[in-house]
Amino acid sequence: MIFMDVKLSAFDKEYLDTIEGQDKIVFVESGTYYNILCDGKNAGVVGYVPAKFPDNAGFVQIVIDLHYRGKGIVAIAEGLISKKHNLKILYATINKSNVASLKAHTKSGFKTIDENKLIELREKKFLKEDEIRLEKKIV
């Protein structure tokens, strides 16, 4: 894949509001968000919310502009945010029907967490029945 220069830049909420699928981003005050730039142009938004446990872990949130989907930006942007914030584990909570996001995260190295843990998270109401939790360990 021929790729562009991908960088993180200051977050722009007005830009986020223009991206299809942006309603899936759940803003949390403790979260940190960035615009994703490809060759200097807005291509999406990525952010993370620190996990309470373990240290150096966070819940990643990402939405890519339609024109930039399918180009590997998810892996690059999540790698950039991991490096910038010294994250060793990323978690992603994705609706089971969001096949494109599941595919992008799986392609970038995320794995579904253990089935017993999924059941436990659902019983404790940390995960809805129609959601799946993925994790990626950064080496």
The letter for the amino acid at 72 is G
How far apart are alpha carbons 45 and 36 in whole angstroms? 5
Residue 63: inside a domain, yes or no? yes
pLDDT band at 23 (very low <50, low <70, confident <90, very high): confident
How far apart are alpha carbons 38 and 70 in whole angstroms? 13
DSSP state at residue 67: G
Percent over 90 (pLDDT), the chain: 83
Asked whether 134 and 91 are in contact (CB, 8 A), the reply is yes
**Domain count of the fold of the chain:** 1
The pLDDT tens digits of the residues spanning 31-87 come to 999 999 999 999 999 999 999 888 899 999 999 999 999 889 999 999 999 999 999
Cα 72 to chain center, whole Å?
13
Q: Could you tell me the residue range of the domain that residue 13 belongs to?
A: 6-137
The pLDDT tens digits of the residues spanning 96-139 come to 999 989 999 999 999 999 999 999 999 999 999 999 999 999 98
Asked whether 81 and 8 are in contact (CB, 8 A), the reply is yes
Give the pLDDT score at 29. 84
Residue 67: inside a domain, yes or no? yes
pLDDT band at 4 (very low <50, low <70, confident <90, very high): confident
Give the pLDDT score at 14. 93
Residue 1: inside a domain, yes or no? no
Give the pLDDT score at 3. 58
109: domain CATH number? 3.40.630.30
Taking alpha carbons only, the member of 56, 106, 51 closest to residue 86 is 56
The pLDDT tens digits of the residues spanning 70-80 come to 889 999 999 99
